[in-house]
Structure 1
Amino acid sequence: MREVKMDKILLWSLLLTFSGSQASSPLAQRNTEFAVDLYQAVCLSHKNNIIISPFGTTLALGMVQLGAKGITQQQIRQSLKFQETSTGEEFSVLKSFFSAISEKKQEFTFNLANALYLQEGFTVKEQYLHDNKEFFQSAIKLVDFQNAKACAETISTWVESKTDGKIKDIFSGEEFGPLTRLVLVNAIYFKGDWKQKFRKEDTRLMNFTQKYGAAVKIPMMKTLLRTKYGYFSESSMNYQVLELPYKGDEFSLIIILPAEDVNIEEMEKLITAHQILQWFSEMQEEEVEISLPRFKVEQKLDFKEALYSLNITEIFSAGCDLSGITDSSEVYVSQVMQQVFFEINEDGSEAATSTGRTNDVTASHEEGLEEMSAYTSLRS
């Protein structure tokens, strides 16, 4: 029997960490590759704890890519690992996935909602609206961004309703200006029970080792279960990998436990998509005694710098080509933000992510159990 005492851990929690046959699907592999790239990029600019939703970011960028042309489109497609297929095919796969997931909702809660908030009077091409509705089931809503505070309240209320109240006040109104024309918002909500729950009476206050070695007392959940487990060694670094499946076996939480002498930052640098997929193929079912922290965390991140490092740069410049969205010239993306809520307890986990894009129009050099919500806005 293995003992996995997670008093110093690295959680690799992808909302879409597929189990079973899903793990080898092209969609899962591409999402994993982009997830690792995004995670490494965010690590460069954020040194504290990082909670992100790669899938929420994929949706936000995908909605932009539907209306992008030329270099702008190529940069997004390359970063998202899309194949050289016609635009839309990759989203058809996504659509099929959500159809399959919706058939199993009795096992967990998984809700996806997308919306396009348009400035009243701003013309968006019918094909773009059609494709967003076809692939992302996006609702179209007209607003007046000149009344920034009212718009912020409207969109924030929508996000809150789609994420079971976990993501609140995602907008304050300061994100919108006189040049804001379009805000794309995607909200994903996931709440799942563990396939085998932890008993609340077994939870105890125990020492948890923080980043720089200090120990604090936190609630540690304990259980004994049979699950997939692997012991790996990479570049003289030893670590354990554990899969905690959710009820229904469609989603899993992957936990990496470095050896005591391993620096977590160095460990993070070694993680690759190939490794993650290798874990899925090589982990074996074993009886494992687990000690896992019970915790809740919320974080809001600006992804602009991270996307720049992934060579997604054109969308932020006034010369980007978003002519598939509108004929208005010099429309560009001003912001890509993500807000995430993530909680792990004895019953399961819950998370919320908000990722978005703001699009502006240039003029005179002006310029969120698991849940997720994402926004993107365009300015012109």
Structure 2
Amino acid sequence: MIMTQTRFWRFLLTVCGPFLIRIHSSSLLADSNDRFALDLYQTICSSYEENIIFSPVGARLVLGMVQMGAKGKAQHQIRRALRLQEDSVGEEFSALKSFLSAIPPQKQEFTFNLANALYLQEGFLVKEQYLHSNEAFFQSAVKLVDFQDAKSCAEAISTWVENKTDGKIKNMFSAEDFGPLTRLVLVNAIYFKGDWIQKFRKEETQLMDFTIKDGSITKVPMMRMQLRTKLGYFTHSQMTYQVVELPYEGNEFSLILLLPAEDIAIEKVEKILSVDQIQGWIREMQEEHVEISLPRFQIEQKLDFKEVFKALNITEIFNGGCDLSGITDSSDLYVSQITQKIAFVINEDGSEAAAATGGQVPVIMSLDSKQFVANRPFLFILKNNPTESILFMGRVTNPEAQKMRGRDMDSL
């Protein structure tokens, strides 16, 4: 039987249609998530001078929770910022659910805890459909509280976040964060812990010079090892930089490090970053024997996304009278605050200070190994390999801005 091209595609969609559409949706979601990540990164960089850490996936989740109840201009602004197509309203929720289910919360090799919640002022009657949809797509809690009792609210929300992140994120809010005009607070907390495939040997860590952004030099604990991993040298707009990949056990997550050449300020590289470039790094990096020097560092950061989102033209949801009628029929509801707090640690074992399991992997020695020496500001991306999506993104301009827990400089 001769099958025409049109009949062939009809046949293929009949047999494999849902599978093809699901892959297409997931890939579009990962791509839009990464573009949203770059938008967020460049916006945040303009407001923060030093170390940065944030999760674009977390930010996307809280916006998705609002979008599910938003109508009109409020919904349009969110969808535009999230890089979603206007003719696919609703499809992204199913794609997002599939995306999240592809990242298991825990395996022997890693832990990935994500907590979402909406806290509303008592007196608002929340629609049942909204409650069910949030639980189904975001596994999020919707809770009614009295923001007039700011201290109790701060304690309740902070305790909930602490429990959801294995006690790693504490004191997320204080009484000063809430006031008589607080109506709706969105909370997102994320905790990741993973060990490197090949750990740094602690006895190799030494104090070394690190040139911070203003040109001054500070001493930092610098971890060192040699391993075989992906490395690339790239040039864009007459700027040269190195990119290296550090995989975690299980190969589901990797840390990508970008280090500009010594004469290139990190701000210049940040301005020209694009999703196409990042995807190009992944394709073009080659396996090499690499001698890596990386500072041990910790970033614990609480970000107020309200101003960040406003800079991305998401303004309607923060104004009284915005249309959140999918959440409640009240016209007085608006978003008062969107907050994300992340604790992120890089040490010899991996991410987060934890007891090492198993023995050390022998160090690979090579006379012709390449060098990657992060002794100046660098950018990092923690990505999930199966979904090819950015989970965390940030930069380190001063590793000593926040002291490490446990082993510190005095122990070296």
**TM-score, normalised with respect to structure 2:** 0.76
From the two aligned structures, give the one with the greater strand fraction. Answer: 1
Residue from 319, 322, 326 that aligns with 2:321: 319
Q: Identify the residue that residue 77 of structure 2 maps to in structure 1.
A: 75
Residue identity opposite 1:52 in structure 2: F
Q: Does 1:171 align with 2:173?
A: yes
Residue identity opposite 1:322 in structure 2: L
Superposition CA RMSD, Å: 2.3
Q: How far did 1:103 drift?
A: 7.9
Q: Identify the residue that residue 152 of structure 1 maps to in structure 2.
A: 154
Q: Identify the residue that residue 278 of structure 1 maps to in structure 2.
A: 280
Judge conservation of contact 2:230–2:244 (CA < 8 Å) in 1.
Answer: yes
Q: Identify the residue that residue 248 of structure 2 maps to in structure 1.
A: 246
Q: Identify the residue that residue 348 of structure 2 maps to in structure 1.
A: 346
Q: Identify the residue that residue 266 of structure 1 maps to in structure 2.
A: 268
Residue range with higher mean Cα deviation, 309-318 or 64-73: 309-318
Q: How far did 1:88 drift?
A: 3.5
Q: Identify the residue that residue 231 of structure 2 maps to in structure 1.
A: 229
Aligned partners of 1:26, 1:285: CA distance in 2, in Å? 28
Q: How far did 1:340 drift?
A: 2.5
Q: How far did 1:126 drift?
A: 1.1
Q: Deviations over 1:284-313 (max 9, x none)?
A: 111111000001122223223322221111
Aligned partners of 2:103, 2:55: CA distance in 1, in Å? 18
Judge conservation of contact 1:69–1:323 (CA < 8 Å) in 2.
Answer: yes
Q: Deviations over 1:187-231 (max 9, x none)?
A: 322111112111111111111111111111111111111111110
Judge conservation of contact 2:187–2:340 (CA < 8 Å) in 1.
Answer: no
Residue range with higher mean Cα deviation, 276-285 or 87-96: 87-96
Q: How far did 1:343 drift?
A: 0.9
Q: State the SS of the aligned residue for 2:268.
A: helix
Counterparts of residues 358-377 of structure 1 (less than 5 Å) = none
Q: How far did 1:140 drift?
A: 3.5
Q: State the SS of the aligned residue for 2:77.
A: helix
Residue identity opposite 1:307 in structure 2: F
Residue identity opposite 1:236 in structure 2: Q
Pair 270,103 (structure 1): closer, same or farther in 2 beyond 3 Å = closer
Residue identity opposite 2:285 in structure 1: M
Residue range with higher mean Cα deviation, 240-249 or 312-321: 312-321
Q: Does 1:110 align with 2:112?
A: yes
Residue from 207, 210, 213 that aligns with 1:208: 210
Residue identity opposite 2:77 in structure 1: Q
Aligned partners of 1:312, 1:44: CA distance in 2, in Å? 17
Residue from 148, 159, 162 that aligns with 2:164: 162
Pair 181,311 (structure 1): closer, same or farther in 2 beyond 3 Å = closer
Aligned partners of 1:103, 1:306: CA distance in 2, in Å? 28
Structure 1, unaligned runs of 5 or more: 1-20, 352-369, 373-380
Aligned partners of 2:212, 2:258: CA distance in 1, in Å? 15
Q: State the SS of the aligned residue for 1:101.
A: coil
Q: State the SS of the aligned residue for 1:25.
A: helix
Residue identity opposite 1:303 in structure 2: F
Aligned partners of 2:117, 2:214: CA distance in 1, in Å? 42
Q: How far did 1:239 drift?
A: 0.4
Judge conservation of contact 1:342–1:371 (CA < 8 Å) in 2.
Answer: no
Residue identity opposite 1:56 in structure 2: G
Q: Deviations over 1:23-57 (max 9, x none)?
A: x9333222111110011111222223222222211
Q: Identify the residue that residue 302 of structure 2 maps to in structure 1.
A: 300
Q: State the SS of the aligned residue for 2:177.
A: coil
Pair 203,111 (structure 1): closer, same or farther in 2 beyond 3 Å = same
Residue identity opposite 2:81 in structure 1: S
Q: How far did 1:120 drift?
A: 3.5
Q: How far did 1:104 drift?
A: 6.4
Judge conservation of contact 1:166–1:371 (CA < 8 Å) in 2.
Answer: no
Higher CA-based Rg: 2
Aligned partners of 1:117, 1:60: CA distance in 2, in Å? 12
Q: How far did 1:86 drift?
A: 4.5
Aligned partners of 2:114, 2:138: CA distance in 1, in Å? 9
Judge conservation of contact 2:106–2:112 (CA < 8 Å) in 1.
Answer: no
Pair 195,251 (structure 1): closer, same or farther in 2 beyond 3 Å = same
Residue identity opposite 1:262 in structure 2: I
Residue identity opposite 1:192 in structure 2: G
Q: How far did 1:327 drift?
A: 0.6
Residue range with higher mean Cα deviation, 176-185 or 162-171: 176-185
Aligned partners of 2:183, 2:204: CA distance in 1, in Å? 53
Counterparts of residues 177-216 of structure 1 (less than 5 Å) = 177-216=179-218
Q: State the SS of the aligned residue for 2:53.
A: coil
Judge conservation of contact 2:121–2:144 (CA < 8 Å) in 1.
Answer: yes
Q: How far did 1:85 drift?
A: 4.8
Residue range with higher mean Cα deviation, 294-303 or 283-292: 294-303
Q: How far did 1:177 drift?
A: 2.7
**TM-score, normalised with respect to structure 1:** 0.82
Aligned partners of 1:298, 1:69: CA distance in 2, in Å? 35
Identity in percent: 69
Residue from 332, 336, 357 that aligns with 2:338: 336
Judge conservation of contact 1:34–1:80 (CA < 8 Å) in 2.
Answer: yes
Judge conservation of contact 2:184–2:334 (CA < 8 Å) in 1.
Answer: no
Residue identity opposite 2:72 in structure 1: G
Judge conservation of contact 1:67–1:323 (CA < 8 Å) in 2.
Answer: yes
Q: How far did 1:132 drift?
A: 0.2
Pair 262,78 (structure 1): closer, same or farther in 2 beyond 3 Å = same
Q: How far did 1:334 drift?
A: 2.1
Residue identity opposite 1:91 in structure 2: F
Residue range with higher mean Cα deviation, 133-142 or 95-104: 95-104
